[in-house]
């Protein structure tokens, strides 16, 4: 078997492939960075920010995808100006719509606008899997994902399914909105997804007549929260009727020459720089395998320095760190090595975030997530 991790280089396989690679990761193998755009509350301008960052990145020459995962209020289709044609299915893949230099996909392209919200919840996780695994994204520098507000199933599915490069948090200036956004930050923290930056939307009001900017709401909550949490504050986007009009017309304001477009361009530069820094830091991390494969008896992990760890199946299965194999409080192992059959072998590997690997075994066990550090020390 050979499993390639999404952000790692493709070293030549050392062993004959035995188990098929995860189709989801194969589909995203041309995507260099995946950025989630999140918010605590709805209506704060998350989709507006997502669509404007996407077109702004495209204007700067990057290959960009935009995935609308906001199943409860999918607005990307409208903000991007709708598809030029019906969604095409080819070789079991969905072709994304393309507008303003951005490839995009939304539930709005696949379902009736009138689909009751109550059906959308159960559909949500399946839809996210489908968008990640079946949309023909091709080679992208950035795949932006417009999340639903809050911390629900979609967020969880996403963080478990792919290695996110990072998340961007959008909030309005009100203290209550900032407090709710902070809860989302904690969730990303727990699954080790770095918050790349925080954006304050509707931070001041731009008068349509004189273009003067007035701060209607008390400013500074988001900036001070960002400082307190050690997260970069990327500044504010004012409330400007032109932003809403542009969104409604399907031509994001970042495509214009307005002062707000300039702000979006500045924030886009901050995103580009932060992603580049994160990627070069990840490249320095020697504790991530570049390739995972197996021979008759061992899981083989090739590390950044091209050293290879050979981990015997039986020993690796015995070292399973899950709660049913080891007591979380005492650390005492609850299985014996003799409980494991000699015929034990892995049936699948799934990278989890940037830190570990979930291994499925032919005894039906699949709940253990081995951290890369643990795997390295096992060898």
Residue 148 touching ligand ADP (CB under 6 A): no
Q: Measured in whole angstroms, how far is the alpha carbon of residue 43 from the centre of its chain? A: 21
DSSP 3-51: E--TTS--PPPSS---SPPPHHHHHTTTB--EEEEEESSTTSSHHHHHH
Supply the minimum distance, in Å, between the C-beta of residue 156 and ligand ADP: 19
Q: Indicate left, alpha or beta for 317 from its phi (over 0: left) and psi (-120 to 50: alpha).
A: alpha
3-state SS, residue 379: coil
Supply the minimum distance, in Å, between the C-beta of residue 376 and ligand ADP: 41
Q: Which stretch binds ligand ADP (CB under 6 A): 92-100, 131-139, 152-160, 235-243?
A: 235-243
Residue 46 touching ligand ADP (CB under 6 A): yes
For the purposes of burial, counting CB atoms within 10 Å of the CB of 241, is it exposed (0-12), middle (13-18) or buried (19 or more)? exposed
Supply the minimum distance, in Å, between the C-beta of residue 72 and ligand ADP: 9
Measured from the CB atom, the residue of 36 and 237 that comes closer to ligand ADP is 237
Angle of helix 46-59 versus helix 259-284 axis, rounded to 10:
80
Residue 6 touching ligand ADP (CB under 6 A): no
Supply the minimum distance, in Å, between the C-beta of residue 174 and ligand ADP: 13
Angle of helix 117-134 versus helix 153-161 axis, rounded to 10:
10
Measured from the CB atom, the residue of 153 and 295 that comes closer to ligand ADP is 153
How many residues touch ligand ADP under the rule CB under 6 A: the total is: 18
- Of the residues 6, 40, 45, 74, which one makes contact with ligand ADP according to CB under 6 A: 45
Supply the minimum distance, in Å, between the C-beta of residue 122 and ligand ADP: 21
Supply the minimum distance, in Å, between the C-beta of residue 192 and ligand ADP: 25
Residue 52 touching ligand ADP (CB under 6 A): no
Span 20-39, contacts to ligand ADP by CB under 6 A: 39
User: Under a CB-based contact definition with an 8 Å cutoff, are residues 95 and 59 in contact?
Assistant: no
Measured from the CB atom, the residue of 75 and 291 that comes closer to ligand ADP is 75
**Both tokens assigned to 379:** 């060898």
- Of the residues 22, 47, 155, 157, which one makes contact with ligand ADP according to CB under 6 A: 47
User: Under a CB-based contact definition with an 8 Å cutoff, are residues 90 and 119 in contact?
Assistant: no
Pairing of strands 34-39, 166-171: parallel
Supply the minimum distance, in Å, between the C-beta of residue 37 and ligand ADP: 9
Chain contacts with ligand ADP (rule: CB under 6 A): 39, 42-48, 73, 75, 201-202, 237, 239-240, 243-244, 247
């Amino acid at each position: 078997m050979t499993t390639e991790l999404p952000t790692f280089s493709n070293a030549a396989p050392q062993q004959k492939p035995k188990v098929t690679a995860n189709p989801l990761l194969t589909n995203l193998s041309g995507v260099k960075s995946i950025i989630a755009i999140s918010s605590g509350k709805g209506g704060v301008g998350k989709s507006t920010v997502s669509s404007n960052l996407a077109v702004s990145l495209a204007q700067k020459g990057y290959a960009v995808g935009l995935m609308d995962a906001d199943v409860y209020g999918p607005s990307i289709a409208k903000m991007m100006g709708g598809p030029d044609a019906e969604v095409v299915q080819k070789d079991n893949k969905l072709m994304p719509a393309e507008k303003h230099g951005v490839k995009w996909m939304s539930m709005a392209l696949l379902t009736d606008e009138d689909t009751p919200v109550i059906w959308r919840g159960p559909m949500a996780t399946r839809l996210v899997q489908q968008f990640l695994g079946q949309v023909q994204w091709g080679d992208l520098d950035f795949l932006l994902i417009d999340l639903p507000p809050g911390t629900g199933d979609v967020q969880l599915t996403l963080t478990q399914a792919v290695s996110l490069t990072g998340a961007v948090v959008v909030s309005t200036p009100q203290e209550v909105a900032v407090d709710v956004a902070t809860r989302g930050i904690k969730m990303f923290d727990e699954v080790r997804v770095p918050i790349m930056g925080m954006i304050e939307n509707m931070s001041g009001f731009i008068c349509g007549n004189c273009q003067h900017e007035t701060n209607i709401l008390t400013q500074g909550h988001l900036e001070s929260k960002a400082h307190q949490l050690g997260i970069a504050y990327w500044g504010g986007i004012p409330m400007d009727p032109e932003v809403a009009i542009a969104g409604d017309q399907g031509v994001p304001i970042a495509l214009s020459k307005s002062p707000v477009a300039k702000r979006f361009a500045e924030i886009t530069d901050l995103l580009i720089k932060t992603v580049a820094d994160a990627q070069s830091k990840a490249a320095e991390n020697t504790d991530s395998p570049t390739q995972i494969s197996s021979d008759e008896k061992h899981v083989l992990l090739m590390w950044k320095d091209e050293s290879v760890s050979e981990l015997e199946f039986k020993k690796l299965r015995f070292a399973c760190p899950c709660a049913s194999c080891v007591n979380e409080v005492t650390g005492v192992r609850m299985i014996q090595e003799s409980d494991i059959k000699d015929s034990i072998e892995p049936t699948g590997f799934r990278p989890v975030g940037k830190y570990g690997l979930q291994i499925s075994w032919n005894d039906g066990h699949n709940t253990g997530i081995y951290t890369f550090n643990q795997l390295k020390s096992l060898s």
